[in-house]
Amino acid sequence: MILATADGVSFASIGLGLKSHNIPVLPPTKDNTLELADRDGVIDFGSTYGARTFNLECIVMAEDSTIDYHNRVAQVAALFNIRKGDILFTFSDLPGKRYVARYAGTMDIQKLIFDGEVSIPIKMNDPWPEALRDTAVREYGQGLEYDQGYVYSDYATWISLSGQNVLVRNEGSMSVYPIIRFSGAFENLQLTDGVSTLILNGKSSASDVWEINCDPNKCTVKKNGVNAYSSSNGVFFELLPGNTSFTVTAVSPTFNLAFIFRYKYLY
């Protein structure tokens, strides 16, 4: 059996055994084309990926064929209840990754004396698995203990010179959109990757924290938790797989610069 969790609950704890998951190598594609009258073929506007769907082939294991069996089935139903929205899945044969998905379809069950066989359809609206941990810096006492296997983040850099360079690694196989956090003092800051330049106008004190959320669904600029979009030029960054070099320029910079994101993977 494959060890698995859903919404932080192990399958084994509710008597659910995972035999297999048929996660496809890639999600299905959607071709964006246009047909024109009196013209052969189509005009190609590229392709995009759709949602990734797969089935969890499971066995519901019970102590008896009546009360315990139906209790187990009820626990399975509660675990995959779509009213929760998206939940997190992990699989022991795919270590270091999490899958954000939900139950989607029909869950028929075939009873076999004490046990039952069930195929659970799963849908990932965002089709890309993610790293279990993000790149935020954590210290002992923040839910971590010695020898937990955590690698300290080097995605946070102290900036004390205008023109200082910062290298950011994206070790995944997909682009990601980071949260960029500036904690400390500076004036009239510019952050550039050589193609685009983010500008933060005005003065920041030692106690101020700016967060730039580059997620295309959000695109926010906040200072100490308050909307500060008008203090920026509205530029947001995408981190391609591999290394991205940034240059920071500002008047009297003394602040910490952090890039916070999770690696995302094709498979």
Instruction: Please write the tens of the pLDDT for every residue from 1-19.
Output: 899 999 999 999 999 999 9
Share of the chain above pLDDT 70, in %: 93
What tokens does 11 get?
Answer: 């399958």
Mean pLDDT throughout 32-48? 91
Nearest residue to 249 via CA among 172, 159, 181: 159
Compute the Cα dihedral for 69, 70, 73, 74 and give only its sign. Answer: negative
Element (H, E) at 78: helix 67-79
Q: How many Cβ atoms from other residues are within 10 Å of residue 155's Cβ?
A: 20
Tens-place pLDDT, residues 160-172: 999 999 999 999 9
What tokens does 97 get?
Answer: 């990754």
In terms of Cβ atoms closer than 10 Å to its own Cβ (0-12, 13-18, 19+), residue 148 is exposed
Distance CA 180, CA 185 (A): 15
The residues facing 33 across adjacent strands are: 44
pLDDT for residue 116: 87
Nearest residue to 27 via CA among 51, 48, 46, 59: 51
φ, ψ at 187 (rounded to 5°)? -140, 135
Mean pLDDT throughout 229-247? 97
Distance CA 208, CA 203 (A): 10
Distance CA 120, CA 137 (A): 37
CB 56 within 8 A of CB 119: yes
| Chain centroid, CA 68 distance in Å | 37
pTM score, whole prediction:
0.86
Tens-place pLDDT, residues 65-94: 888 899 999 999 999 999 999 999 999 999
CB 127 within 8 A of CB 27: yes
What tokens does 165 get?
Answer: 């360079």
Query: For residue 138, is pLDDT > 60?
Result: no
What tokens does 152 get?
Answer: 């300290």
pLDDT for residue 153: 55
